[in-house]
Structure 1
Amino acid sequence: MNADQKIEKVKEILKNYSKLALAFSGGADSTLLAYLAREVDCDLLAISYDNQIFPSGFLEFCKKRASELGIKHEIIENNFLEIDDLANNTSKRCLVCRKLMYSAIKQRAYDKDYKIIIDGNNITDLINDRPGILMKYEYEIESPFIEAELETYEIHKFLNENKIPYSKSTTCLATRVKTNEKVTIGKINRINHCEEFIKGKTNSDSVKLREENNMATIELNDLEGILDSETIESVINELKLAQYDKVLLNLETNNSEEDLVKDFELEIGANSFRLRKKLPFEINISETSEIIQKEIEEENESIRNIETFEDIGYIKLEANGKDSKIFRDGKITIENIKNKKEAKEVLIKILPFIRRIV
């Protein structure tokens, strides 16, 4: 399917539900879902969750976009810094955060008589290290973009071509602090101030400041605005005033439009290619196998002939007619593919069934 066909599929999915609640951040994914739901005349309730540690203007933008889109909007507030499991910033912080967020959104939706809840997770999210995504399965949150096989770049392209505004600063600021370093209101305020300052100096619309041992590492979606001596000096001075000991610049852009298949992941054979992809997390082989087996029983034509080797730690199957393997350590291999496009098409059929280990 091309992007337009995928968008039409999302509309068809939304049409199947007369009433929907949407986890709404005002970012690209949830904004497009709200826009499409309005286009097909869904009774939509957008619910924003304010954990008190989002970037400046997050809540105001959510209110503004909901009003502009003409949709009902509710806000749930909770101060995550008062919750030890989150303030202590362990490796499970995102899992705990999403558990609290989705449970609260589901309860609010049910209280308002909205029994179906959707979110903006898309196919690209499934290759990233986002343990919180497991909570969407636990709380039975639907993800129309995953069902329609939409990728991040396709969502952004549609929004930009149709001039639909969305926020590019919707990620929790606690994710900027190194895992196991305590998150405090002082750190959150300092990160927020510095990111806003850098945005103003560079005209970048996506800035992330990573903090570790009082060292700041700057990530931008476009480096051009910062690469002159005057701007660099200004940024360093401001961050030093904010009491950072060292200021670094990450030369890799924080581009969210990650390609599902990278060129180096394709091995060239005699007459075909082989995909060797490594996901940034371990895979629960038993649970993934059960989910794939259920899909086969429900006559999913894309998936066939599954064999599970629990003791060795991998699953063997056919996806889109291609021999594929899923390994416990996060590796996925796909054999005898013609090109990068076909590799992506097969991978997209596999990713939604994978369940990770946290």
Structure 2
Amino acid sequence: MLKSLRLNLSMTEQMNSTNSKFSKIERLFRGKKVLVAFSGGVDSTVLAHIAKQSAAESKLLTIDSITFPRTELQAAKDVAKELDIELEIIQVDELSNKDLVNNPVDRCYHCKKELASVWLKTAKKLGMNLVVEGTNASDMEGHRPGAKALEEAGVISPFRDAGITKDEIRVYAREAGLSVANRPSMACLSSRFPYGTEITEDRVRRIDRIEKEVKDLFGVECVRARFHGDLVRIEVGREEREKLFDESKLDELYRISREAGFLYVTLDVFGYRTGAMNEALEP
């Protein structure tokens, strides 16, 4: 009885703490004209939902570039309609940026610096006075040079600043009835390349093609096609690996990858994990 009471009290305290964190964001948005950097994922969707409820005005901005998967662009459009918030889509030629093409260890810094510049210019054009994006507290683990670029530019990361984790964001999304509550995280296609490997339009399109076909053919929600020269290493969500443990499906995976221009195909036996390409940086 006492143990149960303590557990209930602990859960109540945790809920109150989480609610308090989200309340900070509501206060931040109050009276502001908020532009949300929007990908259609759970983080930016929840941020947009809060902005619509709390801000004087809210708009969404999606960057359409070669490294943003085509399926994700359509998903962003669909979620924007679900939220009933105006969506601006701006095309950016990321591969004109040599700091991104050369793919150094701090690639994300250069990418986010460029994106932040576009967000801020667009906000000024639209008459918005606060630019926010969805980095959360869980994202700050490991190698995150992009966060530095956002801070330098003056783009606000409300979830990170309030100490809100990915799990807390998903709980909010479920309680708000948002369709993206359980949607897997997605990173730009540049993250599929080992540092130091040149990023080209052809290589990006090949990777994007494989990931789309794996999702369509096998019903996999989380997939990463990692580029290693003539070899492609395919990761799927750990709980989804069994969907590919079949000879005919493995043959299909081989066919898809060969048609995308790879000589060798491997399925990562561990499965997807965030920041897989950063493992080479670890001592």
TM-score by length of 1: 0.67
Q: Which residue of 2 aligns with 1:238?
A: 256
For residue 223 of structure 1, give the secondary structure of its aligned residue in structure 2.
helix
CA distance in 1 between partners of 2:17 and 2:55 (Å): 19
Q: Which residue of 1 aligns with 2:104?
A: 90
Q: Report the alpha carbon displacement of residue 198 of structure 1 after superposing the two structures with TM.
A: 1.2
Q: Does 1:120 align with 2:134?
A: yes
Contact residue 14 and residue 42 of structure 1 kept, 8 A: no
Deviations 1:257-287 (A, max 9, x none): xxxxxxxxxxxxxxxxxxxxxx9899xxxxx
Q: Does 1:152 align with 2:166?
A: yes
Q: Does 1:57 align with 2:57?
A: no
Q: Does 1:173 align with 2:189?
A: yes
Equivalenced residue count is 262
Q: Which residue of 2 aligns with 1:210?
A: 226
CA distance in 2 between partners of 1:189 and 1:245 (Å): 16
Q: Which residue of 2 aligns with 1:305?
A: none
Contact residue 211 and residue 217 of structure 1 kept, 8 A: yes
Q: Which residue of 1 aligns with 2:21?
A: 9
Q: Unpaired segments of 5 or more residues in structure 1?
A: 257-278, 283-328, 331-358
Contact residue 194 and residue 239 of structure 1 kept, 8 A: yes
Q: Which residue of 2 aligns with 1:131?
A: 145
CA distance in 2 between partners of 1:172 and 1:63 (Å): 17
For residue 149 of structure 2, give the secondary structure of its aligned residue in structure 1.
helix
CA distance in 1 between partners of 2:226 and 2:77 (Å): 28
Return the match for 2:265 from 247, 254, 268.
Answer: 247
Call closer, same or farther: CA 1:241–1:74 in 2, change over 3 Å.
Answer: closer
For residue 30 of structure 1, give the secondary structure of its aligned residue in structure 2.
helix
Deviations 1:75-127 (A, max 9, x none): 22111122222222222321111000011101111222222211111111110
Contact residue 11 and residue 36 of structure 1 kept, 8 A: no
CA distance in 2 between partners of 1:27 and 1:144 (Å): 16
CA distance in 1 between partners of 2:204 and 2:77 (Å): 22
Relative to its length, the structure with more strand (as a share) is 1
One-letter amino acid matched to 1:147:
D
- For the aligned residue pairs, the C-alpha RMSD in angstroms reads 2.6
What percentage of residue pairs aligned between the two structures are identical? Answer: 26
Q: Report the alpha carbon displacement of residue 168 of structure 1 after superposing the two structures with TM.
A: 4.0
Deviations 1:149-196 (A, max 9, x none): 211122224324544123646421121122222112111111111111
CA distance in 2 between partners of 1:244 and 1:99 (Å): 32
Q: Unpaired segments of 5 or more residues in structure 2?
A: 1-12
Contact residue 239 and residue 247 of structure 1 kept, 8 A: yes
One-letter amino acid matched to 2:245:
L
1:340-351 maps to which residues of 2 (within 5 A)? none
One-letter amino acid matched to 2:35:
A
One-letter amino acid matched to 1:241:
E
Q: Which has the higher contact order (CA 8 A, sep 6+)?
A: 2
TM-score by length of 2: 0.83
Q: Does 1:223 align with 2:241?
A: yes
